[in-house]
Amino acid sequence: NNKETSYKFVLDPIDGTFNFIRGSGPSAISIGLVKNDSPGDLEFVFGVIYDLTEDRLFWGGKSFGSYCNNSKILVSDKYTLSESVLFSGFPVRFDFDGNNQHIWDLYQNVAKVRMIGSAAMSLVNVAMGSADAYFEENIMLWDVAAGLAIVEGSGGDNHIFNHGDLFIEGKNPATLISANSSLHLLLARLYEIRYRGKKNDE
């Protein structure tokens, strides 16, 4: 929290807490280094994610490349949504009673949707090409800071909607799309169209 530097470490001691408690799926320790030079400007510099379930260490960033242990990892080369596997999730703050048709529309455009209960490990799956994209609403900075850096280091792109000062400070959630460059553009555009339609309906 040193205000004299634009760099900040963002820690999630256990991502996938429920999985960890119940032994029902992946969980991870996640540490991200972010740089915030000005309001609304956030750079994901470097990330480290330790996979507690499989005893693997993922690390990297845009200027470093990304690795699983010492093996380089890369995002997938899928370029059509209809052939893509999308990882997603519903955080505890998700409003199931709200108008969520824009989300169902997004899901219907991909081949498969998978929910594993850990944002960090979902992003790792994108980074190593096991998944083609990741989408989630109402996600917090500490859930994704490390994973976003690792995705960028493996050749992927990220799009953060509602990207404001409160998200950067860890006080407000945002919406995230992470994928290879081709799918990232398709998903971001599709989400913007569907979300705009939702707001018009309201």
pLDDT band at 138 (very low <50, low <70, confident <90, very high): confident
Task: Write down the pLDDT at residue 102.
Answer: 86
Is 125 part of a structural domain of the chain?
A: yes
Which of these, 22, 76, 81, 91, lies nearest to 53 by C-alpha position?
Answer: 22
pLDDT at residue 158, as a whole number: 94
**Full domain range(s) for residue 169:** 7-201
Cα 28 versus chain centre, distance: 14
pLDDT, greater one: 201 or 138: 138
pLDDT of 46 reads 98
What's the rounded Cα separation, in Å, for the pair 7 and 148? Answer: 16
DSSP state of 55: T
User: Does the pLDDT at position 2 exceed 70?
Assistant: no
- Residue 202 above 60 pLDDT? no
Average pLDDT over residues 128-154: 95
Does residue 2 belong to any structural domain of this protein? no
Q: Which pLDDT value is given to residue 98? A: 76
At 36, which CATH number? 3.40.190.80
Greater pLDDT, 190 or 124: 124
User: What is the total count of domains within the chain?
Assistant: 1
At residue 100, does pLDDT exceed 60?
yes
Per-residue confidence band for 164, with pLDDT thresholds at 50, 70 and 90? low
∠30-117-196 over CA atoms, to 5°? 100
99: confidence class by pLDDT, cuts 50, 70, 90: confident
Asked if residue 201 has pLDDT above 60, the reply is no
- pTM assigned to the model: 0.90
Q: Does residue 1 lie within any of the structural domains?
A: no
Which band of pLDDT confidence, cut at 50, 70 and 90, is reported for residue 50?
Answer: very high
**Nearest alpha carbon to residue 132 among 178, 92, 174, 98:** 178
| CA neighbours closer than 13 Å in the CB half-sphere of residue 189 | 7
